[in-house]
Structure 1
Amino acid sequence: MTTATPSSVFGSVHLGYVVIETNRFTDWRRFGTDAIGMHHDTLSPDLMRFRLDDQECRFLLRRGPAEDVIAAGWHIDDHAVFEQIEARIRAHGVPLRPGTDEEAAVRGVERLLRFPGPKGIVQEIYTTPKTSTQPLRMLASGFVTGDSGMGHLAITSTKPAQMRGYFNTVFDARLTDYIDETISGVKLKIRFLRVNERHHSLAIAAVRGLPIDPIRTRVQHLNIQAATLDDVAQSYQRVCELGFDMALSVGQHTNDRELSYYARTPSGFEWEVGWNPIVIDENTWQPSTHQGISIWGHLPVGQTIVDKLDQFRLGARSLARPEITVPTLSGAGIPDD
């Protein structure tokens, strides 16, 4: 008798929202609305949200000291898939906590479930996003969300195989490709994982041969996809004119061909605004390795030797700070193909 293999949840999972903890509400409001061009809603003195589309919440900002991403929300297509993912997590002995009514309300979702994630980023799944009847007030013409989800998260890790194993276990994430890159003499290997047609919803970067993490924050950057090239160009100009730091100039990536730039958020991690990445055809796609992150552009803006030294100091400190993992969901990790 053959035991049935559980069906894959791939394609039924979409990055839905991100939760950020910050005390810099004034700067974040200017950055999100006046620079990037998103819609803003104030919920209370300690809570605000940004919208990209008709969903009530794509970014929830909560007052607090972390200056970092503290949770990622994943939209699950239906209740059956939601329960399938819940059963997987329970089977591995990982604690789950249903979201409170208040937590679900501020995220604009129903049936919220929360559980531990790598690097201390709480993972949240939900079934039904609430939509707003209020018209969007945005400087941007629009953003691409839909079946692809709202963008991606990029994370640096000293345990990339375990992190890849985690998202494979929970969401049946698939490897899209790799990038090998050398920055300031440090060799990086970046793994790109997809959970639907978007080229990647997760990018995991690791220093080759050294167990160090040169980034202070849990995420290195967030990405959102602009509807038009004009939106990218105009937001780039607004970021500069408003005095926010630009991390990388406009350029085009080697693997997903997205044209983008990277600004530095008030909390210190980076924010990528991109346009026109390729969409994956599951019938023909084969993972490959690209040399360098960019075909052209993406040049550092305003980086000094002091900035580079700070990164090396952070990397050295990370040796004494074990990275948070969820071993029972990561297993032995997934070795590189």
Structure 2
Amino acid sequence: MESLGYLVVRGPLDQWKEFGTSVLGAQLVAGPDDSTLMFRTDERAFRLVVEDGQAGPDSLLAIGFDVATLQALDELATTLTDRGIKVDENHELARARRVQRLITFRDNDGFLIEAHVGHELSNEPFVSPRGVSFVCGDLGLGHVFLFASDAQQSSAFYQDVLGFRLSDTVAMGDNEAYFLHCNPRHHTAAFGTFTGVPAGIGHLMIEVGTLDQVGRALDIVQKSSYPVQMSLGEHTNDRMTSFYVVTPSGFAIEYGYDGLLVDDATWKVGRHDAGSIWGHQFNMDSLAAMAGGEA
């Protein structure tokens, strides 16, 4: 895997139109039909897909990971098949996702993975409705933090089967969270296990180009009906300065700046005893919105 190419989620479209453009500053582009929204954050044809439907803990529909070459995609399919994992190649879905080729399979927690080659680049310039610049390109859309039934097992699957590398771990209560990279972004996938929390998406991180853009987004959120899940703060491991906001689908967006980059030639795996250096105070009132997906 090379990067997080895109994410596919389910949620109320009217709310997402407003949230995606006015809060996140992403560019709304035409989807394949009236039941689907697409958002751009860079030169890619899209980075986020929202399908119309009920919000909730199962709102994550698919994770799209970039693969570098057709040969690498074939090798991945062979590796998965040899391990007894069902792999499908869906040409119709590839057209809908605007990629050259695409295979689908499920990870150890049942999350649908769409590994793809040749994600379409748009000839039209990216234009944020709020003038936001997103840090994407070869680093991908951002990262996903997934609630896993067994975070250690998920970490092993993504490393052993999908080729991710361990960046570090963070103590979270009685459990350990695992942070994995596949390019210089500190982590593209992360996993945590929490008692009573079912498998699903915890948050999607999107990174912007300046701290001012984070602050302006926070001002907008605080004047809106969308709950702040965690206040402004700085993480221990990737040093991201960010805040978290609950989306119309119920999961959170981490909106951040200045994340750490990893050089595999010199990187040493670490362990942190806390998730943040400062800030990131959790808003307990946001739990109702997360459970029901209503902001």
Q: Structure 1-normalised TM-score?
A: 0.80
Match of 2:184 in 1: 197
Q: CA deviation at 1:66?
A: 5.7
Are residue 180 (structure 1) and residue 171 (structure 2) matched? yes
Q: Would the aligned equivalents of 1:72 and 1:123 in 2 still touch at CA under 8 Å?
A: yes
The answer to whether 1:42 aligns with 2:30 is yes
Secondary structure in 2 matching 1:112: strand
Q: Is the 8 A contact 1:70 1:120 kept in 2?
A: no
Q: 1:220 maps to which residue?
A: 202
Paired residue for 2:238?
A: 256
Question: Which residue of structure 1 lines up, in the alignment, with residue 3 of structure 2?
Answer: 14
User: Aligned partners of 2:231 and 2:78: how far apart in 1?
Assistant: 44
Residues in 1 aligned to 2:277 and 2:120: alpha-carbon distance in whole angstroms: 39
Asked whether the 8 Å contact 1:197–1:279 carries over to 2, the reply is: yes
The Cα of 1:119 is off from its aligned counterpart by 3.0
Using a 3 Å threshold, how does the CA distance of structure 1 residues 42 and 213 change in structure 2: closer, same or farther?
Answer: farther
Q: Report the Cα distance in structure 1 between the residues aligned to 2:140 and 2:7, rounded to whole angstroms.
A: 12
Instruction: Give the conservation status (yes or no) of the 8 Å contact 2:109–2:149.
Output: no
Q: CA deviation at 1:233?
A: 1.1
Tell me whether 1:60 sits opposite 2:60 in the alignment: no
Pairwise CA distance, 1:76: 0.9
* Residue type at the aligned position of 2:14: T
- Equivalent AA in structure 2 for residue 38 of structure 1: A
Deviation at 1:244, TM superposition (A): 1.0
Alignment coverage as a number of residue pairs: 286
Point out where structure 2 has 5 or more consecutive residues left out of the alignment. Answer: none
SS at match of 1:129: coil
Q: Is the Cα–Cα contact under 8 Å of residues 17 and 60 in structure 1 kept in the other structure?
A: yes
Q: Indicate the SS of the match to 1:171.
A: coil
Q: Matched residue of 1:234: which SS?
A: helix
Cα contact 2:151–2:176 (8 A) shared by 1? no
1:76 aligns with 2:67: yes
| Separation of aligned partners in 2, 1:100 and 1:64 | 24
Stretches of structure 1 lacking an aligned partner (at least 5 in a row): 1-11, 312-337
Q: Which amino acid aligns with 1:266?
A: P
Q: 1:133: Cα distance to partner?
A: 2.1
Corresponding residue for 1:294? Answer: 276
- Indicate which of 129, 133, 137 corresponds to 1:146: 137
**Displacement after TM superposition at 1:273 (Å):** 0.9
What is the CA–CA distance in structure 1 between the aligned matches of 2:109 and 2:90, rounded to whole Å?
20
Any conservation in 2 of the 1:180–1:291 contact (CA below 8 Å)? Answer: yes
Q: Shift in Å at residue 295 of structure 1?
A: 0.6
Partner of 1:281: 263
Q: Report sequence identity in percent.
A: 28
CA contact (8 A) 1:36 1:238 kept: no
Q: Say if 1:96 and 1:194 are closer, same or farther in 2 by CA, change over 3 A.
A: same
- Report how far residue 247 of structure 1 moved: 0.4
Give the match's secondary structure for 2:248.
coil
Distance 2:90 2:209 in 1: 32
Asked whether the 8 Å contact 2:164–2:180 carries over to 1, the reply is yes
The Cα RMSD (Å) is 2.0
How far apart in 2 are the matches of 1:146 and 1:137? 15
